[in-house]
Amino acid sequence: MAGFAGGAATAQGSPQAITIEMSNFKFNPATLTLMHGRPYVLHFVNSASGGHDFVAKEFLDAATIAPEDRAKVKNGEIELDGGESADIHLVANTPGSYKSHCSHFMHSSFGMTGTVVVQ
């Protein structure tokens, strides 16, 4: 799965980094695949000139987000202006399939949606 591409061999407890690029109008990769109970750092990069967000309230509410990163997540949403990036350290706790989308006007209807699969 794309979500595991490029992951370094990690020692127990060191987070695996996954980059999620936000652009007009998609998330790349669109599907994130995470193992529950394992630490990740999700590196969100908005490569567009305008703002985008990553809304996945059900997934983010069920995850344990590192205290230093909690301020970057507001009501299940990570908002980035054009050119911004943010790292979110988290552990997903509950296996399942969760939807994500960009809530900016019309972006999801242009295809800016995704899925987070927690195994």
SS3 22: strand
Can you tell me which of 32, 52, 88, 114 binds Cu ion, judged by CB under 5 A?
52
Query: How far is the C-alpha of 40 from the C-alpha of 97, rounded, in Å?
Result: 17
Q: Exposed, middle or buried by CB within 10 Å (0-12, 13-18, 19+), for 27?
A: buried
| The pairing of beta strand 31-34 with beta strand 113-118 | parallel
Which is nearer to Cu ion, 107 or 116 (by Cβ)? 107
Q: How many residues bind Cu ion (CB under 5 A)?
A: 5
Which is nearer to Cu ion, 7 or 82 (by Cβ)? 82
Which is nearer to Cu ion, 73 or 118 (by Cβ)? 73
Q: How far is the CB of 12 from Cu ion (least distance, A)?
A: 36
Q: Are 91 and 63 in contact (CB under 8 A)?
A: yes
> Interface with Cu ion includes 104 (CB under 5 A)?
yes
Sign of the dihedral defined by the CA atoms of residues 54, 56, 61, 63, in that order: negative
Q: How far is the CB of 32 from Cu ion (least distance, A)?
A: 17
Can you tell me which of 54, 107, 114, 118 binds Cu ion, judged by CB under 5 A?
107
> Interface with Cu ion includes 102 (CB under 5 A)?
yes
Candidates 1-9, 34-42, 60-68, 96-104: pick the segment binding Cu ion (CB under 5 A). 96-104
Query: How far is the C-alpha of 105 from the C-alpha of 100, rounded, in Å?
Result: 15
Residues lying near Cu ion in the complex (CB under 5 A) are found at 52, 102, 104, 107, 112
